Amino acid sequence: MNLSNLKPAAGSTKNNKRIGRGTGSGRGGTSTRGHKGAGSRSGHKTKIGFEGGQMPLQRRVPKVGFKPINRVEYVSVNLDVLQGLAEKFSLTTIDFATLQDHGLAHKNDLVKILGRGEVKTKLEVKAHAFSATAQKAIEAVGGSIEKL
């Protein structure tokens, strides 16, 4: 057996449709283009998404949601995460640089402290925004907050 004996599996290959080769071929005459109209003529191209005048799918499907242009996105950090950092690395102040060092924020992020969990140690927290519950929880333990 060698390369000259190889053949594709039976039924895996088909002959091309030979269009425009006379009426005896079954695909002569209009050559599968129909009668008249732009589609029967050379050089015709339809726009992407055109469905023959039917309302296109892109316009039929309802558009959902609204994204305001001036929306400010924050990276959220919860109180239980702050408490974990404080215990693990014995910190009393947590600022943006600390959060960056521990992989909780990137350099262009804005950080918001949220109120899930609880704080047991007195912390000085510096971030771009605080939720009301987080602010109360930090100050209840004797800590302080500073908005950047």
At the topology level, CATH places domain 72-145 in Ribosomal Protein L15; Chain: K; domain 2 (3.100.10)
Q: State the SS3 of 41-71.
A: CCCCCCCCCCECCECCHHHHCCCCCCCCCCC
Q: What percent of the chain has pLDDT over 70?
A: 100
**Rounded-to-integer distance, Cα 126 and Cα 94, Å:** 6
For residue 55, CA distances in Å to 45, 48, 73, 78 come to 18, 13, 36, 48
pLDDT confidence of residue 148: 87
**9-67 pLDDT, tens digit each:** 999 999 999 999 999 999 999 999 999 988 899 999 989 999 989 999 999 998 888 88
pTM of this structure:
0.56
Q: Summarize the confidence of residues 125-131 as an average pLDDT.
A: 94
**Rounded-to-integer distance, Cα 146 and Cα 94, Å:** 10
